[in-house]
Structure 1
């Protein structure tokens, strides 16, 4: 039982370090303030805003509940740790507590501005032709599997089909608190090495795709003057129901002062697509205002983005051996099938802790 007692003491010390970083009185005050807002007349009129605030309230309540429950469980376990008959139960409890602490500790890294925000994730095909477009589709599927495993809701807002296979570009909005915090480290070039099914000689080929991650920014934080936005409607090239290719439901917005261009086309109505395009434009304008150097500004405009050699953050090798390796954190695995099926936790957690 001495080993169990030692582990429980270690857990209590870990918990103390974590709880010391959270002002519980302030957290309770924030919860009361949000609860008061939800009870005001007209709060539920704006469904999207009220849903976002409700998610924020739920997250804060869960944080407070987790702190209180962890403290109680650790103290209770310590109290009975001298009873030999409880050894097996305590071993199970310790394992559960370690998992909860790991998750809670990890979330403390997500404390930067907008880490709590929903996210916009886009994948753009780079060097490699048709192979790169197919690689873009593989990455989109990988991220969608990751979202589904997490239980996160997402919607595809824009997709441009490839010439023969895959996609030239796909954009998604992830409707989940902390989505931006989790995903921001995925930004960069992802490199694939494999025997190409599009090559008659079945030769090994390298292709690239660029992943872009932006936070969903509120209209209050970045105000856009309507006269500064050029609007154009066009016929959608993707899925979206009976209106696709019959009426101009797809939307393209150009911000005249900066030259930024965004589009959305997967929803059935022009109004929905315009709303999604405006979210993307708002996010890009927010990042643009944070940018201090010309290179970042050009990349946001799309003029200098190159998904190719020298810019990759992660390599996925399927031939002549199997290996996925992150070039920043050095995390690697030979289980490429699991990674491409959305098993990204080890990579994303390492990014959050390091970056």
Structure 2
């Protein structure tokens, strides 16, 4: 009796149409779920921004990038703390290092590693000429102690007067710490000295702890760079080449656009992007990488 009921037939037809619409999306989600997850993705990160070619203007741009990441991290509810910085003569930074912690931080920010280029008329330029400058961004997954062997007894520590946190005790207390560590690079077999300074807080033990954390991350990154290179070479991937000297993105002020050269993705909301609205770009990069990984896994 029910089969001849036109209302029931219509409902069944609608349900079928809905399910058919959902099918491709569900298949896609299943495929993505089958791709082995990168165990690094869940980690916190240490990020470094270095002003490249372009003098004062490159420092200003490095400052713009830092503000962009700061706002993005705030929007995600992540913790960001600056570990070291060197300011530019007219503002911005020659270099700035910071740690970011939260959920899936490395998996989200890993695509930011590489050279970011800016095209604009600098505020420092009186002739109104356009200039191209650059800054390099590195995103390093934070190492857990058990993943890296460091003989802490061999670390040489110095303290110095820090002008980092400001205030009354600037020159009275030696709160800045500097560590030196001789490390044998397993990839080259050569021994090199690692030097790390931290002036982040006025508390010397805290600075010591943070400098140590950066040492572990630095060594982990160096030891893993070979592993990352091997993956990149195998994958010939456009997205995560692991090559920090690759130009990945251009910020063009006169045209108000940002273009990611790895996937040809362009957004025409430059101000919004620099204001921290970078998630759509990250989503597009994630989709492109997932497509490559599916091809690799022959899904």
Q: Confirm or deny that 1:331 pairs with 2:265.
A: yes
CA distance in 2, matches of 1:245, 1:109: 54
Q: Confirm or deny that 1:261 pairs with 2:272.
A: no
Count how many residue pairs are aligned between Structure 1 and Structure 2. 257
CA distance in 1, matches of 2:34, 2:70: 25
1:108-127 equivalences under 5 Å are 111-127=37-53
TM-score using structure 1 length: 0.65
Cα 1:9–1:153 change in 2 (3 A) is: farther
CA distance in 2, matches of 1:182, 1:275: 26
CA distance in 2, matches of 1:206, 1:281: 34
CA distance in 2, matches of 1:280, 1:109: 31
Is the deviation greater in 139-148 or in 7-16?
A: 7-16
Per the alignment, residue 208 of structure 1 pairs with 134
Per the alignment, residue 169 of structure 1 pairs with 95
- Decide which of 131, 147, 154 is 1:221's aligned counterpart: 147
Per the alignment, residue 311 of structure 1 pairs with 246
CA distance in 1, matches of 2:74, 2:22: 31
Per the alignment, residue 198 of structure 1 pairs with 124
Considering fraction of residues, name the structure with more strand: 2
Q: Confirm or deny that 1:185 pairs with 2:111.
A: yes
CA distance in 1, matches of 2:15, 2:81: 46
Per the alignment, residue 286 of structure 1 pairs with 220
Considering fraction of residues, name the structure with more helix: 1
Partner secondary structure for residue 262 of structure 2: coil
- Between the two structures, name the one with larger relative contact order (CA 8 Å, sep ≥ 6): 2
Shift of 1:122: 1.3
Cα 1:242–1:14 change in 2 (3 A) is: farther
CA distance in 1, matches of 2:279, 2:145: 32
| Structure 2 residue runs without a partner (length 5+) | 1-10, 184-191, 231-242, 290-299
Per the alignment, residue 17 of structure 2 pairs with 6
Alignment RMSD: 2.9
